């Protein structure tokens, strides 16, 4: 008898012939997650199991964050042929519970001498006798005692919800524009949840942005990396380009030209990372560069599709998600980033393409972009 974590997976069961590939990836991701606590991971009979971790609480915390896991149970694994043992363990699991209960047996081993209804009846009867403070309610029970008869018997009471989604790495790669604010980490997390392996680009304006702003972005990357299975953060020096934009472009258009330059650079870095899409944390109308007009002219320079998972979200909804995934506190640290240092007073909300193109024609864009990419520092977090 031992304690195991028994995981159900989310959408993978909808997959057809390539289902084994998704399962294999999920097992790999769970193995990575519990590697530090030396958990033993295996797949059996449509469940993934973790056992023998040095710290089962930590293993549980980690597997709940693995994309692709639907729910986790802390189950007791025991010999299925020792029915007396199963009864005794059922009493142990239920003795501190109050109110009503139901036994829910499930039998994937069809050769087992008792069927599910019989198991329910026997265990229910035993609990009624040994724990008279509990009463049966099969329609709306306070506690469900689950008994799964597989290669072993697995007993548990409270399945814990996990994050869901698809195993990272099953849906290709994408590159997120990570600003250090509240939105972009949430956007990265949402796309990664669909199984996408992420890398990140951050634009900095040395010396005008703080070393702490850089540390902040790397901290955010680190916070995300557990869910994202590691992250390459590309730190792009952006000052020279920003200064030239401010010197040579129309004052109201500096932000939009800057965004277009960021997109161009992000495309180049995405290619280095073999990414098939860019991801941003924009939502319609949040700031001047996020009006539909601005998004349209920003997108027009990107060869890769740009995904914006937060596009229809209100700020509060984004904040709530940021709190849930644990990035809000770090995102709220007050350091100037490259966008806030060089902000025009009246950024154009309905930018006109001819004015943009006119401004861009005055820039040494190719050279400056090449230099920025060349001097980009890559940090693996």
Partner 1 sequence: MTKIYLDNSATTKPYPEVIDAMTFSMREEFYNPSALYKQAVETERRLTGARGIVAAPLGMKAENVVFTSGGTESNNLGILGHLKTLRGGGTVLYSGAEHAAVRNTCAEAEAMSFTVKRLPLDRRGSLDMQALEEMLDDTVRLICVMHVCNETGAVMPVEQVVALRDRLAPQAAVHVDGVQAYLRVPMNMKKLRIQSYAVSAHKVHGPKGVGALILQNGHKIGPLIFGGDHQRGLRAGTDNTVGAAGFAAAVSACRPEAYAALKQVKSEMAKALLAAIPDAVIIGPLPEDPDSASHILCISLPPVKAETMVHALAAEGVIVGTGSACSSRSRKYSVALSEMGVAPKLMDSAVRISFSAPNTLDEAKQAAERIAAQYQLLKKFIRR
Q: How far is the CB of 182 from partner 1 (least distance, A)?
A: 14
Closest CA to 293 of 232, 212, 350: 350
Cβ proximity to partner 1, 136 vs 355, nearer residue? 355
Cβ proximity to partner 1, 1 vs 333, nearer residue? 333
Q: How far is the CB of 38 from partner 1 (least distance, A)?
A: 37
Cβ proximity to partner 1, 313 vs 342, nearer residue? 342
Q: How far is the CB of 379 from partner 1 (least distance, A)?
A: 20
Q: How far is the CB of 150 from partner 1 (least distance, A)?
A: 53
Q: How far is the CB of 211 from partner 1 (least distance, A)?
A: 8
Q: How far is the CB of 223 from partner 1 (least distance, A)?
A: 18
Backbone angles phi, psi at 231, to 5 degrees: -155, 130
Q: How far is the CB of 256 from partner 1 (least distance, A)?
A: 14
Cβ proximity to partner 1, 90 vs 254, nearer residue? 254
* 52-78 per-residue burial string, b: 16 or more CB within 10 A, e: under 16: ebeebeebbebbbebbbbbbbbbbbbb
3-state secondary structure the chain: CEEEEEEEECHHHHCCCCHHHHHHHHHHHHHHHCCCCCCEEEEECCEEEEECCCCHHHHHHHHCCCCCEEEEEEEEEECCCCHHHHHHHHHHHHCCCCCEEEEEEEECCCCCCCCHHHHHHHHHHHHHHHCCCCEECCCCCCEEEEEEECCCEEEECCCEECCCCCCCCCCCEEEEECCCCCHHHHHHHHHHHCCCEEEEEEEECCCCCCHHHHHHHHHHHHHHHHHHCCCEEEEEECHHHHHHHHHHCCHHHHHHHHHHHHHHHHHHHHHHCCCCCEECCCCCCCCHHHCHHHHHHHHCCCCCCEECCCCCCCHHHHHHHHHHHCCHHHHCCCCCCHHHHCCCCCCCCCCCHHHHHHHHHCCCHHHHHHHHHHCCEEEEC
Binding site residues, partner 1, CB under 8 A: 206-210, 242-243, 246-247, 251, 254, 333-336, 341-345
Cβ proximity to partner 1, 126 vs 249, nearer residue? 249
Cβ proximity to partner 1, 156 vs 253, nearer residue? 253
Cβ proximity to partner 1, 251 vs 305, nearer residue? 251
Q: How far is the CB of 251 from partner 1 (least distance, A)?
A: 4
Closest CA to 203 of 258, 274, 252: 258
Q: How far is the CB of 333 from partner 1 (least distance, A)?
A: 7
Cβ proximity to partner 1, 328 vs 335, nearer residue? 335
Cβ proximity to partner 1, 247 vs 358, nearer residue? 247
């Amino acid at each position: 008898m031992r304690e195991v974590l028994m995981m159900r997976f989310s959408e993978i069961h909808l997959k057809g012939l390539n289902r084994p590939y998704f399962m294999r990836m999920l097992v790999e991701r769970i193995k990575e997650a519990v590697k530090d606590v030396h958990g033993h991971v295996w797949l059996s009979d449509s469940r993934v199991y973790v056992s023998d971790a040095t710290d089962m609480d930590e293993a549980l915390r980690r597997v709940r964050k693995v994309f692709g896991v639907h729910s986790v149970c802390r189950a007791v694994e025991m010999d299925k042929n020792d029915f007396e043992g199963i009864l005794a363990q059922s009493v142990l699991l239920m003795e501190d519970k109050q109110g009503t209960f139901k036994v829910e047996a499930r039998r994937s081993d069809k050769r087992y001498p008792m069927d599910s209804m019989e198991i329910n009846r026997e265990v229910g009867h035993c609990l009624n006798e040994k724990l008279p403070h509990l009463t049966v309610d099969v329609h709306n029970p306070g506690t469900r005692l689950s008994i799964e008869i597989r290669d072993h018997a697995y007993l548990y009471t409270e399945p814990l919800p996990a994050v869901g989604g698809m195993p990272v790495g099953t849906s290709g790669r994408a590159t997120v524009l990570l600003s250090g604010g509240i939105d972009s980490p949430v956007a990265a997390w949402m796309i990664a949840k669909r199984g996408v392996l992420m890398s990140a680009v951050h634009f900095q304006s040395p010396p005008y942005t703080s070393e702490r702003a850089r540390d902040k972005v790397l901290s955010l990357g680190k916070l995300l990396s557990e869910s994202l299975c590691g992250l390459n953060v590309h730190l792009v020096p952006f000052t020279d380009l920003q200064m030239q934009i401010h010197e040579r472009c129309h004052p109201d258009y500096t932000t939009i030209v800057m965004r277009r330059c960021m997109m161009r650079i992000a495309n180049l870095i995405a290619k280095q990372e073999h990414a098939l899409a860019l991801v941003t944390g924009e939502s319609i109308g949040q700031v001047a560069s996020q009006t539909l007009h601005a998004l349209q002219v920003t997108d027009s320079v990107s060869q890769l599709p740009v995904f914006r998972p937060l596009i229809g979200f209100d700020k509060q909804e984004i904040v709530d998600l940021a709190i849930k995934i644990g990035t809000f506190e770090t995102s709220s640290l007050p350091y100037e980033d490259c966008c806030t240092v060089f902000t025009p007073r009246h950024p154009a909300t309905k930018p006109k393409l001819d004015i943009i193109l006119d401004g861009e024609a005055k820039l040494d864009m190719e050279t400056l972009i090449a230099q920025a990419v060349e001097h980009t520092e890559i940090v693996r977090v």
